[in-house]
Structure 1
Amino acid sequence: MDSDLKPLSLIEDISHHWVEKMLSQKFGNPVTLHSWKYESPETPEGFMSEIVFLKVVYSGSDKEKVQLSLVVKVLPRELERRKVIALGGLDKREIAFYKFVNTQEFKDMCSKNGIKLQVPEVYYASYFNGEITIVMQDLNIDKYKSGIVKEGNNLAQTKVAVQAIAQLHAAGLAYIEKHGEAGSLADLAEEFKFTCFDEYFIRNLNTLAEMYEGTPLAKSMKSLIPYTKDILDMRKRYPLLRTVVHGDYWAGQLMYSEDGSNVMMIDWQHCNVDNPSSDILSMLFMSSHPSVLEEHLEEVIQSYWESLSRNAEKFGVSLDITYDQLRKNVDDLMLFGFMMVGISIPEFLGGGSLTPERLLGYVNFLERKSIVSKYVEMMEKERHV
């Protein structure tokens, strides 16, 4: 997807010439652009990007007019947001992901084994001189809808989500088995640094302590503050497999089909090569109803495992772990999952992606399982050895 067509700095930079050239490069043949316009979404996009819906009418060599609806995604215009994104390398990672999955070798590998990854079709993805632009299919046209449910996603929605990401994990394992973490995967294999995450997590643990003041939960939340950096590094402490992971896997990055049986995965700014358990736990703590954690955790992990095993078999990849090892790894990384929602509390609560009741449900889950106290006790022993 590299080209001499430069990415846009702002949405207002979209032009007739840019759109026509972008479509010509996508289809490999000159097209004639008859009309185009863009519309902003009803609700503003999040911290990481600005998007618009682009409606075009074009024709190719057969002169037949075709209508097309696309999504155009650029960096947010606020300089402070751009600085945070650049500091974490988030501006390049999504481009690197789409370039990786759209290499001919990777596409052939998936096609040969009957795999169609649940990611949108990309028309253009490029990074240049601190700017990015991604143009992809408009999933709304196929009646896909956002997966955010502020009260929490149910069991069926959670299982569909973990089954989808398991397919990507299996594909990543197949590529790494053949090529290692080099070639088209090299940019994603660079270590992902949680820029500002520690700062956000500490701030929000203090917020939780204030919310639960006068209860044992307040003390529990404060007890994690000295160990936030250790929680950030939990995936190194408890390794499992290394494959391509989403890195920020929650309902806000999912579009569900009308009947709820399928999802498309979007927003790959945090994509990297790491432990796949992190994606399972992100989904559970950032999106699922607490009852899914409390009552159906085994079922969710089993659903993920079945999808991972089935897709790995299609690729001819032998998994070097057992279900029991996966199950234990998820337990070991519980606080990593909690951290993922913990760093986003003000944004989630303020943006209607999370209710205080659901957040309390996650904290109560940790308390009932003694996850916080056992972890703090372990870390204190280590520091005094």
Structure 2
Amino acid sequence: MSGRFPVRPEEFESAFVEKVFAATPGSLRSLTHEPVGTGQVCDSYRFTCDWAEEGHPETFIAKCPSADPVSRGAAAIFHLYDMEVGWYRDIADNCSALCPKSYHADIAENEQEFVLLLEDMAPASQGDQLAGASLVQVETTLAEAAALHNFQPASGFNNLKWLDHGTGNSQFLESSLPTGYPVFRERFSSLLSPEILDLGQELVDRIGSYITHEPPELTVTHGDMRLDNILFHADGRIAALVDWQTCSLGNPANDVAYLIGTSFAVPAERRDQEQRLVRDYLSRRSNAPAFEIFWDEYRRHAFSGFLMAINASLHVEQTERGDRMFAAMAERPAQMAIDLDSLSLL
């Protein structure tokens, strides 16, 4: 347990929860928990509360550091916990993009200990990265992406230092990818085609050009806008964006290309819809760039999902489902990059 807050579900005490919800001491009669979600960087739990008084949530979601030391170490290297706590602490309440309400957010200086208490969005459910998205899931998520990218804090970005972690992470990626990609290639040789694995090597060979490219605009970005990190209502419409562990100041085209590139299980459907989806997204943006300018950025960032799959798979605990998910995350945007001739922009 951290000196200020619990970091494992069994460490949650009634007094801590009562304080978070400004409840009368002793009013929480019982507290139980169960694991939820499939995250590999942190662990999430649904807590059920039995209150002796009204006015407090019956359930909440707690996010805690991963029990796996490898995943915790990766989170510290890439500042993942700091970025998510920063989002909920500093921005979420003032941005119109849909996300769970935060009840409590805290992090230790070592960036390996943190706690988030969030609104339980049930019965909304997580998207299925392996099965792919419906069109309405992509459309409604892009509307929330536009709301996120439109956000401008009243005091500017300078006071939100955690938004700058993305720059350092990009530099780390540039230096580590040449040695990491051969490991990825061997591990996924039975899950990905030689064409896609060869494309990955060409991308690695040009990674410097990809990283150093100056975007035409900078906004707050989610950075990992894929189905596993989105909750949906039963009708397919988005309920909330979750897992803000890669939130930073960046190129908004990265979020758009990442979402579209990783979501469609059938490439033909993505090809049929993507220009319309991009135009619809831009119509919701304030001060949006011209379509032609944004389209080139979108093409360039077709690689974003592929790069995330490579990097993440090398730095989190390996699981069978995780490998299948990372293979899907790599294959779909890689095909998108081939279709859009994205290498020609690097």
With normalisation by structure 2, the TM-score equals 0.83
Counterpart check, 1:77 vs 2:67: yes
Q: Any idea what SS the aligned residue of 1:179 has? A: coil
Q: Deviations over 1:120-161 (max 9, x none)?
A: 011111112431000011111xx2011124131122211111
**What's the offset of the Cα at 1:256?**
0.4
Q: Please tell me the residue identity of whatever aligns with 1:14.
A: F
- Are 1:284 and 1:337, in contact at CA under 8 Å, matched by a contact in 2? no
Name the counterpart of 1:240.
216
Counterpart-to-counterpart distance in 2, 1:154 and 1:129? 41
Q: What's the RMSD between the two structures over aligned residues?
A: 3.1
Counterpart-to-counterpart distance in 2, 1:246 and 1:229? 23
Superposed counterparts of 1:161-310, under 5 Å: 161-171=141-151, 174-175=152-153, 178-183=154-159, 185-190=160-165, 191-194=167-170, 195=172, 198=177, 200-207=180-187, 216-231=195-210, 233=211, 236-289=212-265, 290-308=267-285
Q: Please tell me the residue identity of whatever aligns with 1:18.
A: F
Describe the shift of the 1:155–1:203 C-alpha distance in structure 2 as closer, same or farther (beyond 3 A): farther
Describe the shift of the 1:200–1:297 C-alpha distance in structure 2 as closer, same or farther (beyond 3 A): farther
- Are 2:231 and 2:241, in contact at CA under 8 Å, matched by a contact in 1? yes
Q: Deviations over 1:188-226 (max 9, x none)?
A: 23434145672554533455566567x655544433332
Name the counterpart of 2:299.
331
Alignment counterpart, residue 18 of structure 2, candidates 17, 20, 41? 20
Describe the shift of the 1:88–1:132 C-alpha distance in structure 2 as closer, same or farther (beyond 3 A): same
Name the counterpart of 2:9.
11
Counterpart-to-counterpart distance in 2, 1:11 and 1:357? 31
**What's the offset of the Cα at 1:18?**
1.2
Q: Deviations over 1:242-295 (max 9, x none)?
A: 111111111111000122223301111111111111111221233333334322
Counterpart check, 1:322 vs 2:251: no
Name the counterpart of 1:86.
76
Q: Please tell me the residue identity of whatever aligns with 1:224.
A: L
Name the counterpart of 1:383.
none
Alignment counterpart, residue 33 of structure 1, candidates 27, 32, 48? 27
Counterpart-to-counterpart distance in 2, 1:39 and 1:133? 15
Superposed counterparts of 1:122-161, under 5 Å: 122-130=102-110, 131-140=113-122, 143-161=123-141
Counterpart-to-counterpart distance in 1, 2:263 and 2:55? 42
Q: Which runs of 5+ in 1 are unaligned?
A: 111-115, 313-318, 379-385
Describe the shift of the 1:201–1:125 C-alpha distance in structure 2 as closer, same or farther (beyond 3 A): farther
Q: Please tell me the residue identity of whatever aligns with 1:34.
A: L
Q: Please tell me the residue identity of whatever aligns with 1:136.
A: L
- Are 2:127 and 2:232, in contact at CA under 8 Å, matched by a contact in 1? yes
- Are 1:206 and 1:221, in contact at CA under 8 Å, matched by a contact in 2? no
With normalisation by structure 1, the TM-score equals 0.76
Q: Deviations over 1:45-82 (max 9, x none)?
A: 422111211111335xxx54755110111101222221
Counterpart-to-counterpart distance in 1, 2:59 and 2:192? 47
Counterpart-to-counterpart distance in 2, 1:81 and 1:354? 17
- Are 1:282 and 1:340, in contact at CA under 8 Å, matched by a contact in 2? no
Counterpart-to-counterpart distance in 1, 2:69 and 2:308? 25
**What's the offset of the Cα at 1:345?**
6.2
Aligned length: 334
**What's the offset of the Cα at 1:352?**
7.8
Describe the shift of the 1:54–1:262 C-alpha distance in structure 2 as closer, same or farther (beyond 3 A): same
Counterpart-to-counterpart distance in 1, 2:35 and 2:207? 36
Q: Please tell me the residue identity of whatever aligns with 1:331.
A: R
Q: Please tell me the residue identity of whatever aligns with 1:303.
A: D
Describe the shift of the 1:7–1:165 C-alpha distance in structure 2 as closer, same or farther (beyond 3 A): farther
Q: Which runs of 5+ in 2 are unaligned?
A: none
- Are 2:21 and 2:56, in contact at CA under 8 Å, matched by a contact in 1? no
Describe the shift of the 1:360–1:284 C-alpha distance in structure 2 as closer, same or farther (beyond 3 A): same
Describe the shift of the 1:166–1:243 C-alpha distance in structure 2 as closer, same or farther (beyond 3 A): same
Describe the shift of the 1:38–1:288 C-alpha distance in structure 2 as closer, same or farther (beyond 3 A): farther
